[in-house]
Amino acid sequence: MRTARWLQTVLATALVAVCVNASAQQELIIFKGDKPADAGLVLSGWGSGEVRESGEAVYIGSTSLQIVTQSFYQGGRLILQQPVSLGNFASNPAAYLVFHVRLPQGTGSLYTGGYGRGYGMPGVPGAPGMPGMGGLAGPRGGAVGGAATGTGRAGARAGGMVGGMTGPPMGGPGMGAPPGLGGGAPGAPRTGTTGRRTGAATGGMPGMPPGLGGGYGYGGYTAPTLTTRVMKQMRVVVVTTDGRQYEAVAPFDPPLTDQEGWFPIGVALGAFKGLSPDAKIKEIRVFGDAYGVFYVGEIRVATDSTPITGDAGEEQIVAANDLVRLEARASAGITPLKYSWDFDASDGIQEDAVGRVVTTRYRKPGEYIVTLTVTDIYGLKKPFVATTKITVNE
């Protein structure tokens, strides 16, 4: 019940702040769900990343921008055909470049796997050879795989999304030679060493001597597996008409999202160090810190002077050595926040843990005052401090 009331208060505060800011200074819209061509945007990938128009997830208007990123340096590039002047925003400490973002469930996933090594079993005279046994998974390939080559297995095709995979193995199992005749042909040699590592592995064992028919060997196959690297940060680079580049980083850590998962990420203009007050933006580049996909539904410049508010959670009574979970609740409009915890005020306020949700254990019985300090990651707003009490019984 307390959480619901707190959420209502936060939403009401944010709404009031938006209204106040809107009346004080008009927003500057860069993208608001229009067709990129109609909005004067040219979309282009950066590195191995990509940005494209999408109707799969829409925040406002009729479309969004789907960003495919693989690292802080591979993502999407938005070229503004009409450069945008920041005007008074550039010198306003409460001004932010705001992205409304949605992370699909499971984003940040990376497929890995590949072909391993296997050997064909020799055939009994006059009988078919047996397929090769499955091999171990091959290592992930490099950035770009080579073209398929060779007569045996196709050359490996590797990349950030699918690594170390090869083409299909050659043919089917070889037929054993009749007694007195030559054995089966040897397996195909390794082909297609692509990327940073080898893709396809050696083929089957050579045929047996005359009189013992050999079979064609298969290279073993291991299905790709799915590993997850969740994106935690977004990197933004703005390029101005004088050719200068300015960059800043913000976390993918929303305190609140709407029902469809959209949330704002505000990058303070002050975080783009050295940005001139008369700057005109001609290009925006957006990246994530891991392989994944996310959507951008809106880009605008706006002001937000909402103060940081929140609390450190309910008081708790626990037993010694119990795991204690602490969860911060805080809001500051579109401002990204950092959460620092001190678990025992009696020895001075220190940073014992960082994060919106943290855990700790108390070894000795007693009463402990926990202190939460919430700060603006850009240092533009006054820090917020709250406390709660943990009572530890024997």
Q: List strands edge to edge, sheet with 316-319.
A: 316-319, 384-393, 366-376, 337-342, 353-354
Whole-number Å distance between alpha carbons of 373 and 175: 74
Cα–Cα distance list, 154 to 138, 168, 170, 248 (Å): 15, 6, 8, 43
- Cβ(218)–Cβ(134) below 8 Å: no
Average pLDDT over residues 273-290: 93
Regarding beta strands 357-361 and 323-327, do their DSSP bridges make them parallel or antiparallel, or are they unpaired?
Answer: antiparallel
Using a 10 angstrom Cβ sphere, with 0-12 exposed, 13-18 middle and 19 or more buried, the burial of residue 56 is: exposed
CATH code for the domain defined by 309-393? 2.60.40.10
Task: Summarize pLDDT for 306-337 with one digit per residue, the tens.
Answer: 999 999 999 999 999 999 999 999 989 999 99
- pLDDT tens readout for residues 93-103: 899 999 999 98
How does residue 362 score in pLDDT terms, banded at 50, 70 and 90? very high
Greater confidence, 30 or 128? Answer: 30
pLDDT exceeds cutoff 50 at 292: yes
Strands (E) located in 72-125: 75-85, 95-102, 109-115
Burial class (CB in 10 A: 0-12, 13-18, 19+), 268: buried
| Higher per-residue pLDDT: 306 or 138 | 306
pLDDT at 229: 56
Calculate ∠ Cα 295-296-302, nearest 5°: 155
Q: How confident is the model at residue 255 (pLDDT cuts 50, 70, 90)?
A: low
Task: Provide the 3-class DSSP secondary structure of residue 79.
Answer: strand
d(CA 106, CA 231): 10
Counting Cα atoms < 13 Å in the Cβ hemisphere of 282 gives 8
The first and second tokens of residue 73, run together, are: 């340096």
Is the per-residue pLDDT at 252 higher than 60?
A: yes
pLDDT of 146 over the 60 cut: no
Give 12's contacts (C-beta < 8 A, 6+ positions apart). none
pLDDT of residue 391: 97
pLDDT tens, position by position, 191-208: 433 333 333 333 444 444
Domain boundaries, the chain: 27-108+229-299, 111-225, 309-393
Write down the mean pLDDT value for the chain. Answer: 73
Distance (Å, whole) CA 112 – CA 264: 32
- As a whole number of angstroms, the distance between CA 264 and CA 332 comes to 11
pLDDT tens per residue, range 159-193: 333 333 333 333 344 444 344 344 444 444 434 33
Assign domain 27-108+229-299 to its CATH superfamily. Galactose-binding domain-like (2.60.120.260)
Which is more confident, 216 or 91? 91
Better-scored residue on pLDDT, 155 or 303: 303
Most confident range, picked from 53-57, 88-92, 142-146: 53-57
Q: How far apart are CA 123 and CA 175, in angstroms?
A: 7
